[in-house]
Structure 1
Amino acid sequence: MRTPPVEPSRFASLWSDLAVIGRDRLRGGYSRHGFDDADLHLREWFTAQAQRRGLDVETDRNGNVWAWWGTPGAGAVVTGSHLDSVPGGGAFDGPLGVVSALLAVDELRVRGVRPTRPLAVACFTEEEGGRFGLACLGSRLMTGAVDADQVRRLHDGAGQTLAEAARRAGVDPAHMGPDPERVAMIGSFIELHVEQGRLLKSASPAGAPAAIGVGSEIVAHGRWRLSLTGEGNHAGTTVADDRHDPMIPAAATVLAARRAITARPGAVATVGRIQPVPGGTNVIASRVDVWLDARYLDGAATGELVDEIVAAVREEAALEGCALTVHRESMSDRVDFDPGLAMQLAEQLGAPIVPTGAGHDAGVLAAHVPSAMLFVRNPTGISHAPGEHAETADCITGVEALADALEVQLR
């Protein structure tokens, strides 16, 4: 007999605990980044919640936090997500998957489930890359997808290295790197996440979007830093013919990105960050760094998209007498989630299968273990912004769907 639905008060209680952590009074929303004060507070919160449920908590060599139901071992069923955010991000991206995982453990116990395999709730470090610039940091380190020496040298906007920040959080940076034994323990990974964009609406053109969807793939995506070097000078005394202003080709980057994606249905390219040096209002910058995020079908198509944008910027830089260097900070090819697991979940939950352009830890793990994603309906599609939202009723439906999916995996 089906158990009663999850009480809204149980969801609200956990959710209200998170609401006060990492508020960004300047930008709105939340700013929670790897190994900062908000992140340390979140780790303490998660540890307390897990221990309250009788789960055994450990932090691995890369700063990822694991809460185990049963003895860690081969064939483990793992769920969870991340607790960090983009600067000024929404409340749901990441934390919804962690809260839902804890409540799914509660739900499984209410149902009387006795796992025959170990179950873990995982919180991955710095998924958004909001502090050190590298997304899915914890899962990439764990799987060996990124060089640990490179990661230790990363630094934030204040100049603090990741190694220094990790050490402050009690993680020894010398031990960071591939963790094949841990990866080998994972039998399957299911990540629940708030919908980003209107995936479910697109999958239901004739009616109301479903409350839950199942992920099929993540399109290729990457980040590039374009550094434009010109000549610093006085804003009030330097005439047009004497200027070598790197802000001009920087502005061209924004326009070139928009034009390139307009010609390619389904492609996206965004300039979300521009940093002039020295950054004075009455100063022509000597250098401008521009960060470009690009996502398209696969690695080759994304590369062609970026090449077109860079070519336009290089032409504008030459006209302005500026130099351009391009540094690729990250690149992930298209990821297909385990088709058998996706189909199983879609049939079990009666949910549509949808693709996504957003990166996730599940996408990193998919190359190593059977991985899947569940998406909870977002009525506006807004994400990475304070307007991100999901209705409580839909979140509870997500908890129950996650519990259903885990129950099957634990048999």
Structure 2
Amino acid sequence: MQASTSRIESYFCKLNGTPISTNQSMNRLAYTEDERRAHHTFSELAVSLGMTVQTDAVGNTIARLKGSDDTQPVVAIGSHLDTVRNGGQFDGTAGVVAGLEVVALFNEHRIQPHHPIELIAFVSEESSRFGVATLGSKAMIGEFPIDKMSTLTDQDGVSLAEALRRCKLNPEVVEKACRSKTDIKSFFELHIEQGPELESLDVPVGIVNGIAAPTRLKLTFQGQANHTGTTSMMRRKDALVAASEMILFVEDAAKLEAINKTVATVGICEVTPASMNVIPGEVTLYVDIRSTSMVSKQRVHQQIRKKAYVIEQYRGVTCEIDVLSKEIPIVIERHIQERLQSACEEIDINYENMPSGAGHDAMNMAKLWPTGMIFVPCKNGVSHDPTEYSTVEQIAAGTNVLITAIRREASR
């Protein structure tokens, strides 16, 4: 069975509402009319493929293809349809498109799987609107932030609870989206890599062996604000200079862990009072450390703490460190990796075993069910940008691996 590039292109055009382009901005934020419209289109496409469709309590759209023994746990395929602000056409959508093509291939070749197949279009995978990622898959495993629905707000002050209500969803029953461990046999997600490795290696498919998880820190440097013209250089307690040393150190600490594919980033720097003629008295840094190795992440974290102490001593500032989150990386179960590797070998396609530096719905699903991820290349490794681009042929190659694996996984 070979995926149809023309069908894949058609699915993209319908879900995105525009032809595939190398530079096309998408703004399909979570729980907006644009996102719901894409879910409605997905439902129509699934029904046209002979599937039944339902929407769960948080807005995930779940399409089901009957199995020859429909009492068996489902083999699920999924990804998301929301985007970041000014995002691209492929992030998330490629996985939904691949799932539709898998079902189209089953129909085309008149194959009824033994296990039922589900295609899941998750809601609100991106954190762009409410600051919390993967809400749809969190709900499915019982980790939806129910206690924060009224306090999580977007830039217009709309709460998550209100956004649900505007989509005709009841925030008081979101727990009904939680699935039983026995509902699902396994879960698979195809995604663009969001990095340059596959393209640079000229390898068509990545088999994910682990998903990195972040440790996020808030570092507050307290110095002394003072007049820039009347305070000598020797008497200054410049919080920004101190914080700048830490910014450079974070990069160095992560480089020492490069063998573990660990990365660290200072993404936000808040300066107070932020005036040209006032020495900065307070600076807050937000640090994101990611790795598939918890031990490696912890080493970077500890090195940052040691460096903060050193800076305090000779700069005359204080540094308070708060741990905002400390998530556990996901290791993909070996037998699922082998299922995907065998699929590549069966259809004679090269692959690379690799970690995922970004989070995905798959990382939540993997907490309850055996989970696999397939990466396909994206141009220059760019994502979350209008220039995000993968060719239809690249997505078809990944889909061929997916259908081969799903056919085996859904058999007796």
Task: State if a TM-score over 0.5 links the two structures.
Answer: yes
1:29-62, Cα deviation, whole Å (9 max, x unpaired) = 4343321343233223322322333322222223
Contact 1:224 1:292 survives alignment (8 Å): yes
Check 1:91–1:28 CA distance in 2 against 1; reply closer, same or farther (3 A cut): closer
Deviation at 1:300, TM superposition (A): 3.0
> Taking structure 1 as reference, are residues 37 and 147 closer, same or farther at Cα in structure 2, changes over 3 Å only?
closer
Give 1:96-111 correspondences, 5 Å limit: 96-111=94-109
Partner residue of 1:407?
Answer: 407
Q: Which residue of 1 aligns with 2:10?
A: 13
1:385–1:113 Cα change, 3 Å: same
1:258 has 2:246 as partner: no
User: Residues 244 and 183 from structure 1, CA distance in 2 versus in 1: closer, same or farther, beyond 3 angstroms?
Assistant: farther
Q: Among residues 168, 184, 198, which one is paired with 1:200 in the alignment?
A: 198
> What is the distance in 1 between the residues matched to 2:339 and 2:307?
46
- Confirm whether residue 300 of structure 1 aligns to residue 295 of structure 2: yes
2:383 maps to: 383
Would you say the 8 A contact 1:143–1:178 is kept in 2?
Answer: no
CA apart distance, 1:187: 0.9
1:53/1:304 Cα in 2 relative to 1: closer, same or farther (>3 Å)? Answer: same
| Cα separation, 2, equivalents of 1:302 and 1:151 | 30
CA RMSD across the alignment:
3.5
Shift of 1:274: 4.1
- Is the Cα contact below 8 Å between 2:292 and 2:331 reproduced in 1? no
- 5+ residue gaps, structure 1, are 22-26
Quote the residue 1:24 is aligned against.
Answer: none
CA-CA distance at 1:214 after TM superposition: 1.9
In the TM superposition, what is the alpha-carbon distance from 1:94 to its structure 2 partner? 0.9
After TM superposition, the score normalised by the length of structure 2 is 0.82
Distance 2:72 2:279 in 1: 59
Q: Give the drift of 1:84.
A: 2.3
| CA 175–395 in structure 1, closer or farther in 2 if over 3 Å, else same | same
Could you say which residue in structure 1 is the equivalent of 2:48?
52
Q: Distance in 2 between matches of 1:146 and 1:403?
A: 30
Identify the range of structure 1 (30-39 vs 221-230) with the bigger mean alpha-carbon deviation: 221-230
Q: Does 1:65 align with 2:64?
A: no
Does 158-167 or 335-344 show the bigger shift? 158-167
The amino acid across from 1:9 in the alignment is S
Q: For 2:32 and 2:222, how far apart are their aligned partners in 1?
A: 32
2:368, 2:139 → 1: CA distance?
13
Please report how far the alpha carbon of residue 77 of structure 1 lies from its aligned counterpart in structure 2 after TM superposition: 0.9
Q: Tell me which moved more, 158-167 or 243-252.
A: 243-252
| Equivalent position of 1:217 in the other structure | 210
Aligned residue runs from structure 1 range 132-147, under 5 A: 132-145=130-143, 147=145
Worse-matched range after superposition: 216-225 or 108-117: 216-225
Q: Report the counterpart of residue 339 of structure 1 in structure 2.
A: 334
CA distance in 1, matches of 2:247, 2:42: 40
Are residue 116 (structure 1) and residue 114 (structure 2) matched? yes
1:95 to 2:88 alignment: no
Relative to structure 1, the CA distance from residue 242 to residue 146 in structure 2 (aligned partners, 3 Å threshold; closer, same or farther) is farther
Q: Secondary structure at the match of 1:272?
A: strand
Distance in 2, matches of 1:245 and 1:332, equals: 33
Deviation at 1:96, TM superposition (A): 0.5
- Give the Cα separation in 1 of the matches to 2:176 and 2:215: 22
Q: Is 1:291 the equivalent of 2:286?
A: yes
Check 1:134–1:217 CA distance in 2 against 1; reply closer, same or farther (3 A cut): same
Change (3 A) 1:201 1:82: same
* 1-structure distance, mates of 2:57, 2:229: 53
Deviation larger for 87-96 or 237-246 = 237-246
Shift of 1:268: 0.5
Q: Count residues with an aligned counterpart.
A: 397
Runs of 5+ unmatched residues, structure 2 = none
Distance 1:175 1:280 in 2: 48
Provide the rounded CA distance (Å) in 2 between the counterparts of 1:96 and 1:241.
57
Q: 2:233, 2:32 → 1: CA distance?
A: 44
Instruction: Indicate the larger mover: 174-183 or 51-60.
Output: 174-183
Higher-Rg member (1/2): 2
> Which letter does structure 1 place at the counterpart of 2:64?
W
Match of 1:176 in 2: 174
Cα pair 1:248 1:316 within 8 Å, conserved: no
